[in-house]
Amino acid sequence: MNATLGILFTWTTYGTWLRGDERGWVEDGITYPAEPLLRVADAERMRYEPFLFAEDQLFAVGSMIGHALIERLGAQIFALTVQRWHVHALIAATPHPLASVVKCGKDAVRWGLRPSRPIWTDGYDKRFCFDEPTLRTRIAYVERHNLERGWPAKPWGFITSIGYSPPF
């Protein structure tokens, strides 16, 4: 197997993708089909309404995430998008535990916005890129979200191109 070139992380905002969701859902790396009764039960246990970022917060949230990952972890970011209910961040291989990468991004936003309620779900999804075609495909996937929003593919100046030397 090739070395890891990049990792695509996805994390969602509070209450926007519950177990049993009609889109399917993932737990412990296993994808499950929709289970409406499970989704209803999870929704009834929520203490707050689902959280969505306001449109005018999206760029600032991306800045918070990007600067935190770079300054605290030395990450190289190949692609990033912030949508109202989720984030995709594709970074170069890192020596840091993956949970620490996500925590760094989530905490930066939590600190920057200082909400009085939860804004993130507990988990995250990760997809490894072991070859350049996969890495390029996933970069394009993330960039497409920005283009659909009417933004540049790489809206933040800290996003780097592939063809790098890992920092470790």
Q: What mean pLDDT is predicted for residues 42-51?
A: 84
Angle between helices 58-73 and 98-113 (to 10 degrees): 130
- The fold adopted by the segment(s) 1-14+53-111+118-168 is Alpha-Beta Plaits (3.30.70)
Percent composition of the chain: helix, strand, coil (DSSP 3-state, to 5): 35, 20, 45
Indicate the pLDDT class of residue 168, thresholds 50, 70 and 90. very low
**Torsion over CA of 6, 64, 67 and 158, rounded to 10 degrees?**
70
Alpha-carbon distance of 50 to 65, in angstroms, equals 21
Percent with pLDDT over 90 in the chain = 70
> What is the dihedral sign for C-alpha 132, 32, 148, 11?
negative
Domain boundaries, the chain: 1-14+53-111+118-168, 17-50
High-pLDDT (> 70) share of the chain, %: 96
* Cα angle value 16/19/22 (rounded, 5°): 75
Tokens of 61: 């949230």
**What is the distance between the alpha carbons of residues 132 and 150, in angstroms, rounded to a whole number?**
27
Q: What pLDDT band is residue 43 in, cutting at 50, 70 and 90?
A: confident
> What span, in angstroms and rounded, lies between the C-alpha atoms of 2 and 17?
32
Mean pLDDT value of segment 6-10: 97
Tell me how far apart the alpha carbons of residues 161 and 72 are, in angstroms, rounded to a whole number: 20
